[in-house]
Amino acid sequence: MSLTLYYHPLSSYCHKVLIALYENGIEFDRRIIDLTDAADRAELQALWPIGKFPVLRDHARQRNLPESSVIIEYLDRLYPGEQRLVPDDWETALEVRLWDRFFDNYLQTPVQQIVSDRIHATNGDLTRERATLATAYGMLERRMASRIWVASPDFSLADCAAAPALFYACTLVPFPDDYQHLSAYFDRLIQRPSFLRVIDEARPWFSFYPFADRLAQRFREAPDNA
């Protein structure tokens, strides 16, 4: 197979790429990387010395692609499907890239800092990180008042970024009860078949998430028809 994804099923950035792959039915091989395993780390670093996943290996083109946003843009250009994730229209594409960065920088980053603090038991002051999430929620509540998807009329790269970012963020700072537009957007994301598949595949790993007890029961339990 031409493509191999080096990833971990619990990683939010890997979820982002998996959503893109599933949206367009792109075939790929999987290589789960355990960063606590020296051999796995060495294998990943041989592809991308920074040692972070996801990394996509395109065997046909002899190319290694790191960074979730770059991977999705690469797939959209060279392995396109029916669901274009970066629009051809320049202004819309710019908006998509802006909101992709929004979710990575202002949701994913504080989430990772809060999770890292729990893992390492450093008991740091996380006021700023939680405030950043609250500010981001407010921006999204206003943004989604008149939209279905966050950056384009159609599901896009930005929504691939939004789904895992919001999934984990709401376990740390719940959405305010009166943020109906944000909650409705999140519901649309988690009903997307591509993301449902990602969650289903991640479910066996959720017990390793430091805030697993805050995951909604519907995510922790397999569907009755599974």
Q: Give the residue among 70, 63, 66, 79 at the shortest CA–CA distance from 23.
A: 79
Q: For residue 224, what pLDDT is reported? A: 61
- Asked whether residue 225 is domain-assigned, the answer is no
Q: Give the residue among 166, 172, 173 at the shortest CA–CA distance from 199.
A: 166
Residue type, 131: A
Identify whether residues 141 and 216 lie together within a single domain. Answer: yes
**Domain end among 13, 47, 78:** 78
Q: For residue 217, what pLDDT is reported? A: 87
Q: Give the residue among 214, 117, 212, 99 at the shortest CA–CA distance from 161.
A: 99
- Asked whether residue 226 is domain-assigned, the answer is no
- Asked whether residue 160 is domain-assigned, the answer is yes
Identify whether residues 100 and 160 lie together within a single domain. Answer: yes
Identify whether residues 177 and 105 lie together within a single domain. Answer: yes
> Which range marks the domain in which residue 14 is found?
3-78
**H-run or E-run covering 117:** helix 109-120
Rounded distance between C-alpha atoms, residue 90 and residue 97, angstroms: 10
Identify whether residues 102 and 200 lie together within a single domain. Answer: yes
Look up the CATH number of the domain holding residue 72. 3.40.30.10
Beta bridge partners of 30: 5
- Asked whether residue 139 is domain-assigned, the answer is yes
Identify whether residues 72 and 99 lie together within a single domain. Answer: no
**Domain end among 32, 49, 78:** 78
- Mark the ranges of the chain whose per-residue pLDDT is less than 70: 1, 223-226
**Domain end among 55, 78, 101:** 78
- Asked whether residue 158 is domain-assigned, the answer is yes
Task: Give the count of domains, the chain.
Answer: 2
- Asked whether residue 84 is domain-assigned, the answer is no
Identify whether residues 101 and 205 lie together within a single domain. Answer: yes
- Tell me the CB-side half-sphere exposure of residue 226, using CA atoms within 13 A: 12
Within a 10 A sphere around the Cβ of 3, how many other Cβ atoms?
Answer: 22
Q: For residue 221, what pLDDT is reported? A: 77
Q: For residue 57, what pLDDT is reported? A: 98
Q: For residue 76, what pLDDT is reported? A: 97
Identify whether residues 36 and 65 lie together within a single domain. Answer: yes
Identify whether residues 19 and 55 lie together within a single domain. Answer: yes
Q: For residue 208, what pLDDT is reported? A: 95
Identify whether residues 205 and 136 lie together within a single domain. Answer: yes
Identify whether residues 124 and 146 lie together within a single domain. Answer: yes
Identify whether residues 29 and 112 lie together within a single domain. Answer: no
- Asked whether residue 83 is domain-assigned, the answer is no
Look up the CATH number of the domain holding residue 184. 1.20.1050.10
Question: Which residue, chain included where needed, has tokens 């996380």?
Answer: 126
Q: For residue 223, what pLDDT is reported? A: 67
- Asked whether residue 96 is domain-assigned, the answer is yes
Identify whether residues 108 and 27 lie together within a single domain. Answer: no
Rounded distance between C-alpha atoms, residue 60 and residue 3, angstroms: 8
